[in-house]
Amino acid sequence: MRVLTVKGVRIDDTFAEAFGMRATALTITADTACWARQAAVTMTGFATSVIGCGCEAGIDCELTAQQTPDGRPGVRVLLFATSSAELQKQLQARVGQCVLTSPGSACYAGIEGDETLKLGNALRYFGDGWQVSKRFGGKHYWRIPVLDGEFVCEATTAVTKTAVGGGNLIIIGRTSEATRAAAETAAAAIAGVADVIAPFPGGIARSGSKVGSKYKGVMASTNDAYCPTLRGAVKTALDAEAGAVLEIVIDGLTSRAVATAMYAGIAAIVKLGPKRGATRISAGNYGGKLGPHHYHLRDLLP
C-alpha cells in the first residue's frame, strides 16, 4: 500500500467503504437549551450501531431559538437504520419513551421529503382521546395533553433514502493518550459538520470490528489486525510503533456530508501533529465489494 505523509502524519492510500441507509432528522425543542439537549441525549442513547441497537443516532447540532419552529432552543437529531420499517420502529419507540417524557419538550420534523414516517401520528394515541389535531401553515401537528401542559409533535417526518452509513477513519498513535487526543480533536471537528453524526461514545469507537467470527452466530468480532496487543500473533495491519488504535464512524444524510466530515477529521488530526496526536490515519473497508460508497483518503487530504 502506498503511504502519503502530510505534516508528519502518515495517511494510508486506502478508502473507507460505506453503505446506503435510511435516515430521518428531528428538531427537538424545550424551554431551555439544557432540557432540549437532555431529551436529545436520552433519545439517542444506546444507538451506536445498527448491529446491536436497531439504529444509529446522534445529535447533529444545537439550534438557537430563531432556528426552531416554536421559537425555543432546540437540538437537531439524526437517526439512521437499514430499512424504513426499522427506522419507523426505532423513531416511535425513542420519541415515545425519551422525548414525550422529557419536561417541556416538543418534537418536529427535521427534514422534508415525499416519503414520510409517522411521528405524532403514532404517538397521538397517548392522548387517550384528548389529543388535538392542528394544521398551521401547511403543517400538521398533534397536541397531546401531558402533566406539564401539552406535548406538541409534528404528525410526520420525512425519510431520506440517500443517507450513507459507515464512513470511517482509523486513527493510530504511539500511546493511548496521544491516540485519544487525536480522535477527540477529529470528533470535535466532525461535530461541527452539518448533516452528520458520529454515533459512538463521544464520537469515538475503541472496539473496531470485522465481519464474522470464529464463533457460530456472532456477526461481528474484534478487528484483530488492528489490535496492538495481538501484533505478533495475527496478520497485523500495525507497525512496530503503534501503541493504540481508535476509530471514528460517520453517518451522514448525504454522501457529500460524509466526505466533508472525513476531510474535517483528517485535517484536525494532521493539525494536531504526530508528536501530540496520531502518527498514522487509515480507513476500514471490505475490499470495495460490499458498500457502494468509497471515500479514498488521498482525495480528502488537507
Partner 1 sequence: MRPLTLVLRQRPDQRLDLSPLVPHSLSGKSAAEIERIELQTTRSRVSVGDAFRLRNGDPTRICIEGSCDRLDRIGHAMTGGEVFVEGDVGTQAGRLLAGGSLTIAGNTGPWAASAMKGGLLEIRGATGAFLAAPLAGEMAGMRGGLVIVRGGAGERAGDRMRRGTIVVEGGAGAYAGSRMIAGSLVIGKKAGPLPGYLMKRGSIVLGVPCEAMSPTFVDCGYHQLLAMRLWAAILLPHSKKAAALLRRPLQRLAGDMAVLGKGEILIANPN
**Minimal distance in Å, beta carbon 112 to partner 1?**
16
Interaction of residue 143 with partner 1, rule CB under 8 A: yes
Q: How do 139-146 and 15-29 pair as beta strands?
A: unpaired
Q: Which of 282, 249, 299 is nearest to 10 (CA)?
A: 282
Q: Which stretch binds partner 1 (CB under 8 A): 135-143, 168-176, 180-188, 192-200?
A: 135-143
Interaction of residue 152 with partner 1, rule CB under 8 A: yes
Residue selected from 114, 128, 135, 229 as contacting partner 1 according to rule CB under 8 A: 135
Residue selected from 1, 2, 114, 137 as contacting partner 1 according to rule CB under 8 A: 137
Site string for partner 1, 97-126 (x = CB under 8 A): ---------x--------------------
Site for partner 1 in 178-217 (CB under 8 A): none
Interaction of residue 130 with partner 1, rule CB under 8 A: yes
Site for partner 1 in 242-261 (CB under 8 A): none
Site for partner 1 in 57-76 (CB under 8 A): 69-72
**Minimal distance in Å, beta carbon 129 to partner 1?**
8
**Minimal distance in Å, beta carbon 253 to partner 1?**
25
Among residues 70 and 115, whose Cβ is nearest to partner 1?
70
Cβ atoms 228, 236 nearer than 8 A: no
Q: How do 9-12 and 74-81 pair as beta strands?
A: unpaired
DSSP 129: T
Rounded Cα gap, residues 71 and 64, in angstroms:
8
**Minimal distance in Å, beta carbon 89 to partner 1?**
27
Residue selected from 83, 133, 175, 222 as contacting partner 1 according to rule CB under 8 A: 133
H runs (alpha helix) in the chain: 33-43, 50-53, 84-94, 120-123, 176-191, 255-276
Determine the distance from the C-alpha atom of residue 205 to the mean position of all C-alpha atoms in its chain, rounded to a whole number.
Answer: 12
**Minimal distance in Å, beta carbon 43 to partner 1?**
18
Residue selected from 150, 207, 271, 301 as contacting partner 1 according to rule CB under 8 A: 150
CB-CB neighbours of 191 under 10 Å: 18
Q: What per-residue string of b and e applies to 5-29 under the rule 16 or more CB within 10 Å gives b? A: eeeebbbbebbbbbbbbbbbbbbbb
Rounded to a whole number of angstroms, the CA Rg of the chain reads 21
Rounded Cα gap, residues 17 and 161, in angstroms:
18
Return residues touching partner 1 (CB under 8 A): 69-72, 106, 130, 132-137, 141, 143, 149-150, 152
